[in-house]
Amino acid sequence: MIRHDPLAVRVAAIEPLSATLKRLTLESADGGALPIGSAGAHVSLILEGGDRPFRNAYSLVSMPGERGCYELIVRRTAGSRGGSAFIHERLGEGSVIGATVPHNLFPIQRHARKHLLIGGGIGITPLLSYLPALRQGGERLELHQISARDEVPLFENLLAPHAAHDVHVHAGRGALDLSALLARQPLGTHVYVCGPAALMDHVEAAAAALGWPASRVHRENFGAAGGDPFTLRLARSGREIAVGPDQSMLDALEAAGVPVPSLCRGGACGECLTKVTGGVPEHRDHYLTDLEKAEGALVMPCVSRAKNDLLVLDL
């Protein structure tokens, strides 16, 4: 059973890593032990910012199994919906905020013969927790981090505690031939990718072209949800809610005071699954089957949108 009541956590430390990146250390506000997070797990922070709370999901970069604190790395993005800006501008040491318990939709596949890890930019964060877990278990691995040229030293520093012959940092996508990388992997390898959607799509397509089983390709999604504005109509009340071009359906519903269960906020877990009674959804999730998407009777409001001006939800 999924626990929805939030934890109260205190910001124990904030470490600037660059002009746009900060490392946060969070401790239990009551001084007790925190619930355990496994490698690849994330928490959602509940940030009270002005007229509505922000709920942003961040991967744990602390050691798997750590109960004394959670460590996160947060990038302030130019297109921030408010959460990353709030963290960078308004959150200080000693602040008490809400957080969900850790949930893992991107776990290590323990039966893999080898683990191929591919990160793009800040997408390295879940993979940072993979490394100590895989090293401790004596697992065979290979990590490739792709970053902007000016951030190569930053990611080299982040990976320094795990540096070895199998950890590589590349300056830009052009510095790594992803198809060749996938082609030379031994049978039984699983690939894990986290980063911009274009990178993850490229890895999936390249793996499929090489005949990789889909079950051996894993991606982490926290999803961006921008697009043309549209209107939501709530079938049970007739109420209409506008969804802006840089706003997800889930954000718009929460801002309007309409409670919708959510967890990953990236179209992967199914927690916010909602029935559609009118209009045509534009599906962007990785949860519904192709048949369910074609039927158009369900939608994941955390990442998906509408193909027309009005979408009617069974709410």
- pLDDT tens digits, one per residue of 180-189: 999 999 999 9
State the fold for domain 7-99.
Answer: Elongation Factor Tu (Ef-tu); domain 3 (2.40.30)
Q: Domain locations in the chain?
A: 7-99, 114-219, 230-313
User: What is the tens place of the pLDDT at every residue in 116-169?
Assistant: 999 999 999 999 999 999 999 999 999 999 999 999 999 999 999 999 999 999
> What torsion do the CA atoms of 83, 85, 91, 92 make, to the nearest 10 degrees?
150
Question: What is the spatial distance between Cα 184 and Cα 154, in angstroms, rounded to a whole number?
Answer: 28
Residue 79 has a pLDDT of 57
- pLDDT average, residue stretch 39-64: 86
Q: Is the model's pLDDT at 1 over the cut of 80? A: no
Give residue 285's identity as a one-letter amino acid code: D
Q: Let me know: does 86 contact 39? Beta carbons within 8 Å.
A: no
Q: Let me know: does 202 contact 245? Beta carbons within 8 Å.
A: no
Residue 268 has a pLDDT of 81
User: What is the tens place of the pLDDT at every residue in 187-219?
Assistant: 999 999 999 888 999 999 999 999 999 999 999
Q: What is the CATH number of domain 114-219?
A: 3.40.50.80
* Percentage of the chain modeled with pLDDT above 70: 95
Residue 52 has a pLDDT of 64
User: What is the tens place of the pLDDT at every residue in 68-113?
Assistant: 999 999 998 765 556 788 899 999 999 999 999 999 989 999 999 9
- Model's pTM, two decimal places? 0.85
Question: What is the DSSP annotation of 178-202?
Answer: HHHHHHTSPTTEEEEEES-HHHHHH
- pLDDT average, residue stretch 254-276: 88
User: pLDDT class for 55, splitting at 50, 70, 90?
Assistant: confident
Q: Which residue has the higher pLDDT, 172 or 39?
A: 39
Candidates 3.10.20.30, 3.40.50.300, 3.30.70.141, 2.40.50.140; CATH matching 230-313: 3.10.20.30
